[in-house]
Amino acid sequence: MSAQNEVWPIVWPWLALAGLGAFHGLNPAMGWLFAVALGLHRHSRRMVWLSPLPIALGHAFSIAVLAGAFVLAGLAIDLRAVRIGAGLILIGWALYYWRYGHRHRVRTGMQAGLAGLAVWSFLMASAHGAGLMLWPVLMPLCFSGGPEPFAGGALPTALLAIAVHTVAMLIVTTAIAVAVYEWIGLEVLRRAWLNVDLIWTLAIFLAGGLLLFG
């Protein structure tokens, strides 16, 4: 039991990062729906397989921008102030996204190339506040002060965290896009509709609450 108690604080942030990556990959607005639509439009199975790569790259860059700002703030400012500020930003973003998010959809045409797809993914992830959701996990990873298996510093740890998150997202995005394109079909969206935006908003709100009161 004591060994589990020692390992769990080290393991859970990485599992949470992978889980958030899987959740982002599950969200149609984060890319798999566009990958399927692009493949259908161009009648190209290859496009369905290739599209998740620039989608994941743009997503990772968006998260890296926010993660970098978070790490720099944590190095320069008192961590308690960073925690409170990050929590307030998350809750404020959740309320804003709940009220106005539907007015700020990022649109792109079916003629977009892979580079354009990466730019679209960056804008979409930024508009959804994807990087903000990682802050409660980055806090214990980068600034815990305890024994870490990757004790190279806050910045390398943050980069590794982004990589773990992005790989999980890429796997899920690719798997869903291929499955929908090859076997399931887009009719599944009519039969099994789920309000992912509402879940997303609640997740951001809860993450903010965790930073404020956790």
End-to-end Cα spacing for the chain: 24
Compute the distance between CA of residue 141 and CA of residue 144 in angstroms, rounded to an integer. 6
Q: Is 80 exceeded by the pLDDT of residue 122?
A: yes
Domain, as residue range, for 50 = 2-213
| Cα 160 to Cα 72, 115, 129, distances in angstroms | 16, 24, 20
Compute the distance between CA of residue 109 and CA of residue 117 in angstroms, rounded to an integer. 10
Residue 175 pLDDT level (bands cut at 50, 70, 90): very high
CB 46: neighbour CB atoms within 10 A? Answer: 9
Tokens representing 137 are: 């996990």
**Which residue from 8, 22, 9 is spatially nearest to 141, judged by alpha carbons?**
9
Q: Is 60 exceeded by the pLDDT of residue 52?
A: yes
Compute the distance between CA of residue 214 and CA of residue 207 in angstroms, rounded to an integer. 10
Q: How confident is the model at residue 107, as a pLDDT?
A: 54
pTM given for the model? 0.78
Of 128 and 164, more confident: 164
Counting the structural domains of the chain, the total is 1
Question: Over the stretch 149-164, which tens digit does the pLDDT of each residue have?
Answer: 444 577 788 889 999 9
Compute the distance between CA of residue 151 and CA of residue 159 in angstroms, rounded to an integer. 13
Q: Is 80 exceeded by the pLDDT of residue 129?
A: no
| Cα 32 to Cα 8, 14, 173, distances in angstroms | 32, 23, 5
Question: Over the stretch 61-107, which tens digit does the pLDDT of each residue have?
Answer: 999 988 778 777 777 777 677 777 777 887 887 787 777 765 555 45
Residue 165 pLDDT level (bands cut at 50, 70, 90): very high
| Average pLDDT of the chain, as a whole number | 78
